[in-house]
Chains A and B, each alone.
Chain A
């Protein structure tokens, strides 16, 4: 898969993806060490674990998996000196539709991930760590296992790492095709050898009652890679990249109707949606107009191209000003995407032009969620299937006038009524598609040809 080497776009700032598509770059440890690999680990061992946690807090790094939770705060929940062992799990389940960044780190730069993980384990005092990798990455799992063996051979993993007295084992654990394993408590259940039914919070916050009911840190692949760079730069320096509360870079994964889909590592918030689509991704296909964007993985609420958004922003003198902007002007960062009613999520940006049928698109998403609901909570298990059956029937020409309202009502009755965030993830697409493209849904609702035929 490294066959095509892509030149980074000039607006990219490559830190995490520095070695992706790099000429002559290989996954072996010699290549990594020649480039200064594992030097940040040596530097980390000169700091105390508390100092590293503090650097990560200072960096304001937010999780790259989807929720955007501050990484330092998450680590801060692990209390040093507890009686139970601490575990660290790297979430490499990468399963949110529209997202494909971790794939490249795993397949092309496994040692960067390992170095980030080892430093993170040292910081939270975890002596045993797992990489939970989705089952559909069999080659990725082999590459990681090979990298772990190499790192053990050089004394970066194992007992008494670099003579510093810290012991650590890392194992690769393969999933088997279930999206819900990306949800951290579902992942933990899966790693315990069970069906991945998410746990209810409280009390099952992983930091308190995680793997084997011990304190556990679960971090995304890209988040763990960032830790290595925070140690090198220092938290304060890292925080200068991007914008306040939206620091660092982010690998945005763009797919759908743009000229140049792909991954682009950008300073968080440095670009607007318009710049991303038209400058970086080469714009839309000839003669096409933008219709909609799903900005943060398939569960993020869809944005309509001609919507206007009122954004409040705090000025340096403390006053708050309100500004009306269009889709092109939305900054690609956590807070701006939340302010327009969607989310930065996992960084998967799906672009749709005016050739796309929104009922078809929603039906595709609904089929995904109906297939992936774990079935634990009734509203989600039943509701995701109902929504999928309804949009499927509408596409077949069996519409009913009540469909748009019933769809919304089903979605409204899932969100907030489930153990995990899958409920919201499957409700948000239906809520937003129906609200924003009501005309298209109404048009399908009015078509009930095949239903009449069947009768």
Chain B
């Protein structure tokens, strides 16, 4: 694993945000690593631990706890559909199925220890997530870092088209 110098200087800058304790920089560093490499490897966990003068377990326990961190690659584009009550009332369960159909994702696939669905070509991964805090405009979804509101089933194929 090669940490480019540009990434490392960002990491060093972020650590200065926490003058009282370097350990506080754990989450920001994991975000930066994941944004760069796509997921967090054991090697990356050790690297972050060393950087912050911690034991690898201190970092691993974060990666396994926080839902947004992942230890395996997702699809090229990651789709999050909100599952929680207001979005469910607005049709998020059928929206999820529609995304599966158009992205050629098998909704019944069960990989041990993962709730993330993937398309066979690796282009899309799909996750049913808890409340995205836009309950008044459900159903909502995120594709990568972009946010979409009141997504109708008809719009799903167009949205996928935007993310190649």
Given A192-B23, A195-B61, check contact A176 B69 (CB 8 Å).
Answer: yes
Interface of B with A (CB < 8 Å)? 17, 19-21, 23-28, 30-31, 52, 58, 61-62, 65-69, 80, 83-86, 88-89, 129-138, 142, 145, 147, 149
Contact B134 A195 (CB under 8 A): no
**With A99-B133, A193-B24, A368-B130 in contact, do A256 and B31 touch (Cβ < 8 Å)?**
no
Report whether B133 and A298 are in contact in the complex, using a CB–CB cutoff of 8 Å. no
Shortest CB distance A85–B (Å): 8
Which of chain A's residues has its CB closest to B115's CB?
A371
Beyond A135-B31, A262-B137, 15 extra complex contacts between A and B, CB < 8 Å:
A1-B149, A85-B20, A98-B86, A173-B17, A173-B28, A174-B31, A179-B131, A190-B27, A191-B24, A193-B25, A193-B62, A256-B89, A256-B135, A262-B136, A368-B131
Binary CB contact string for chain A from 207 to 240 against chain B (1 if under 8 A, 0 otherwise): 0000110000000000000000000000000000
Contact A367–B83 (Cβ < 8 Å): yes
B66 pairs with A103, CB closer than 8 A? no
Q: Is A263 an interface residue (CB 8 A)?
A: yes
Given contacts A176-B66, A255-B136, A263-B136, contact A97 B84 (CB under 8 A): yes
Q: Which 3 A-B pairs have the closest CB atoms?
A: A176-B66, A193-B26, A177-B67
Residue ID in chain A nearest B145 by CB atoms: A138
Q: Is the CB of B135 within 8 A of A350?
A: yes
A301 CB within 8 Å of chain B:
no
Q: How far is the CB of B46 from chain A (nearest CB, A)?
A: 16
Given A99-B135, A193-B23, A193-B27, A256–B86 Cβ distance below 8 Å?
yes
CB contact under 8 A between A171 and B17, given known A176-B68, A193-B25: yes
- Give residues in A with beta carbon < 8 Å to B: 1, 85, 94-100, 102-103, 128, 134-139, 171, 173-179, 190-196, 211-212, 253-257, 261-263, 298, 348, 350, 352, 356, 361, 364-365, 367-368, 371-372
Cα–Cα distance between A103 and B66 once the two chains are bound (Å): 21
Whether B133 and A103, one on each chain, are in contact in the complex, defined by CB atoms closer than 8 angstroms, is yes
A364 to B24, CA, bound (A): 34
Asked if B23 and A100 sit within 8 Å, CB to CB, the answer is: no
A-chain residues with CB within 8 Å of residue B67 when the two chains form the complex: 176-178
Residues of B contacting A: mostly: mixed
- B145 CB contacts on chain A under 8 angstroms: 138-139
From A136, A138, A139, A179, residue with most partner B Cβ within 10 Å: A136
Q: Is the CB of A103 within 8 A of B17?
A: no
Least Cβ–Cβ distance between B40 and chain A, in angstroms: 11
Given contacts A100-B135, A192-B21, A261-B137, contact A372 B130 (CB under 8 A): yes
Docked-complex contact B133 and A192, CB < 8 angstroms: no
Asked whether A177 and B129 contact (CB < 8 A) given A138-B145, A193-B62, A256-B86, the answer is: yes
Whether A136 contacts B133 by the Cβ 8 Å rule is yes
Shortest CB-to-CB span from A394 to chain B, Å, is: 17
Q: Which residues of chain A are near B131, meaning CB under 8 Å?
A: 95-98, 179, 368
- Interface pair A128/B19, CB less than 8 Å apart: yes
| Whole-angstrom CA separation of A364 from B138 in the bound complex | 15
A-B contact pairs, 20 of them (CB 8 A): A98-B86, A98-B135, A136-B132, A173-B24, A175-B66, A176-B31, A176-B67, A177-B68, A177-B129, A179-B131, A192-B21, A194-B23, A212-B20, A255-B89, A261-B135, A263-B136, A298-B85, A361-B89, A368-B85, A368-B130
Tell me which of A174, A194, A365, A372 has the highest count of chain B C-beta atoms within 10 A of its own C-beta: A194
Known: A1-B147, A174-B31, A348-B135. A136 touches B86 (CB 8 A): no
B20 to chain A, nearest CB (A): 5
CB distance from B87 to the nearest CB of A (A): 9
A78 to B21, CA, bound (A): 22
Do A255 and B86 touch (CB < 8 A)?
yes
Least CB distance, B51 to chain A, in whole angstroms: 12
> Out of B27, B62, B134, which one reaches A174, CB within 8 Å?
B27
Contacts of A196 in B (CB 8 A): 65
Q: B85, B130, B131, B145 — which one has the most chain A CB atoms within 10 A of its CB? A: B85
A165–chain B nearest beta-carbon distance, Å: 20
> Judging by beta carbons under 8 Å apart, are A253 and B136 in contact?
yes
CB neighbours of A97 from chain B (8 A): 84-86, 130-131, 135
Identify the closest chain B residue to A170 (Cβ): B17
Q: Once the chains bind, are A257 and B89 in contact (CB under 8 Å)?
A: yes
Give CA–CA (A352, B31) in the complex, Å: 38
Q: How far is the CA of A139 from the CA of B143 in the complex (A)?
A: 12
When C-beta atoms are compared, the residue in chain A nearest to B65 turns out to be A195
Find chain A residues with CB under 8 A from B65 CB. Answer: 178, 195-196
Shortest distance from the beta carbon of B65 to any chain A beta carbon, whole Å: 5
By the criterion CB–CB under 8 Å, are A212 and B21 in contact? yes
A186 nearest CB across to chain B (Å) = 11
